[in-house]
Amino acid sequence: RSAGIMASHEEFFQGIPAIKYEGAQSKNLLAYRYYNAEEVILGKPMKDWFRFAVCYWHTWRGMGSDPFGGPTRRWNFDDGTESVGNAIRRLRAHFEFLQKLGVGFYCFHDRDIAPEGMDLAETNKLLDQVIDEAEKLQKATGIKLLWGTANLFSHPRYMNGASTNPDAHVFAYAAAQVKKAMEVTHRLGGENYVFWGGREGYMSLLNTDMKAELSHFAKFLKMAAAYKKEIGFQGQLLIEPKPLEPTKHQYDFDAGNVIGFLRTYGLDKDYKLNLEANHCTLAGHSFEHELTLASDSNLLGSIDANTGDTLLGWDTDQFNTDVKSLTLAMLVVVKQQGLGSGGFNFDAKLRRESTEPEDLFYAHIGSIDAFARGLRNAARLTEDRALDSLVEERYKSYKDGIGARIESGEATFAELEKWVLQQGEPQQRSARQEKFEMILNNYTL
């Protein structure tokens, strides 16, 4: 058995060793070639730059179903029942997977880690039983909870939304569910709590009071922020934007939309953003655009590490191996010196046609290595100031003279008109986009 794997339970992933760093020349597909957890990059170990997490829902509850067909895989530890015993077996397999992968964090929804009962009281008791086991496993392994969240979108009661539902009874039920989810996240030492408004939006404006729904959404988030303080939870509250799916229009459409919403309702001191790459592109933006916008607003809190397929128009949640894109993403993270209490959660799933346990390892190893390459590239770009110096050169006119007065807010329209009449027509200056792209390519290894 691999060192470090819990000896008190059966081994679920037999024949798969603990994944180690072997370097770029390694031909071993069950090894890291670029991710060396303890290697120091820009003054910080790689593991601390990333704080990688494995999501519970896609990894263990997504069994390959799609709108055109049923499940294609079944894990040998999962008997398919919604029993506490099965939930605990699944949880033990999850922790073995994390240990073998060498990942120190995980994330879950309340309803994918534990079964739902006949009513809220029974459901809470079932959740507590599973959380008891999670607490023991965390203590035994040193693995931590990056964030918890509540599933407020799968049950039919939420078909018209949760906090934005026109029925106050549903709003109250959602509040009770989040209350419990925050409590167990706090109990497990979770470092963040996430809100993804899966059905917080509308299908038709004809039957929707948008103003009321946005107001109710804000009130819900204010209640959550107040309850965080009440229970002494020190973690960061996060909102995850998504433009559409399952509703036609989601209220948390993209980073800019959420930032505006938080500022409008005075929530920007309590919440930051958890950005998912696939959601960014669904909103018509690049991953690095959304990261930059959130970071520049001091609101980038955590990242869901995945990607989409440019030829498909839905949330495919694939493992990201695009090194150039991840280099640009890591430039943003490096610039803000990391994600603080946040991390990189693999909100990604195997393709329907991938059905073996080894596929889970290949998927995570490949993406972890791609992110590691992105960090290494970003570090070299940062140390050499290969792009920064050129960007500074483009904007140097704001460092002195009339540009400095514009920057300080002292200039007026009348002053600028007078200055232009004296100086005449501006010189045309090349943006040199191709030069920037060439430099990026030269640093992308």
What residues act catalytically? 109
* H or E segment to which residue 111 belongs: helix 110-113
Contact at 8 Å (CB) between 108 and 59? no
Contact at 8 Å (CB) between 16 and 361? yes
Which residues does residue 318 pair with via DSSP β-bridges, in sequence order? 307
Contact at 8 Å (CB) between 231 and 182? yes
**In the structure encoding, which two tokens stand for residue 332, read together?**
């943003």
- Spatial separation of the C-alpha atoms in residues 124 and 414, rounded to whole Å: 66
Phi and psi torsions of 304, nearest 5°: -95, 115
E-strand stretches of 76-126: 105-109
Contact at 8 Å (CB) between 189 and 104? no
HSE at residue 246, side-chain half, CA atoms within 13 A, is 13
- Spatial separation of the C-alpha atoms in residues 139 and 173, rounded to whole Å: 32
**Single-letter code of the amino acid located at 150:** A
**In the structure encoding, which two tokens stand for residue 222, read together?**
């204010």
Phi and psi torsions of 408, nearest 5°: -80, -10
* b/e per residue 197-207 (b: at least 16 CB within 10 A): bbbbbbeeeee
* H or E segment to which residue 263 belongs: helix 255-264
Contact at 8 Å (CB) between 200 and 251? yes
Per DSSP, the residues of 173-232 read HHHHHHHHHHHHHHHTT-SEEEE--TT-EES-GGG--HHHHHHHHHHHHHHHHHHHHHHT
- Spatial separation of the C-alpha atoms in residues 60 and 88, rounded to whole Å: 12
Residue from 174, 104, 33, 96 nearest 357 by CA: 96
Q: From the CB of residue 159, how many other CB atoms can be counted at a distance below 10 Å?
A: 12
**In the structure encoding, which two tokens stand for residue 428, read together?**
């045309």
